[in-house]
Amino acid sequence: MAYLSIKPNLARRRQLPQIRAANALIRVCAQERGVDFLDVHAPMLGADGEADPRWFDVDGLHLNAEGYALWTGVVRDWLARRGLL
């Protein structure tokens, strides 16, 4: 079992500190329970530490095709490491 992290987004920039804190707590909780934590948050950040617009649709909240491709890669790598692909 795996938990996909909360993603950053452009529409709710002010919530980024809370998203980071929640992801940190969830990561610890997942590890304590033997659940893998798949981090999509970090790869979606730009050099400035903010959500990178290239992953999002025009609303700044929902992912575009590139954003979903990023997530697919994270999940695919996790499945491959477990011999499930």
Task: Name every residue whose Cβ is closer than 8 Å to that of residue 9 and which is 6 or more positions away in sequence.
Answer: 51, 56, 60, 61
Confidence band for 82, pLDDT divided at 50, 70 and 90: very high
What are the φ and ψ backbone dihedral angles of 15, each rounded to 5 degrees? -90, 0
CA distance 83 to 12: 37
pLDDT digits (tens, 9 = 90+) for 28-38: 999 999 999 99
pLDDT digits (tens, 9 = 90+) for 47-67: 999 999 999 999 999 999 999
CA distance 33 to 25: 13
pLDDT of 72 reads: 97
Q: What is the largest CA-CA distance in the chain?
A: 39
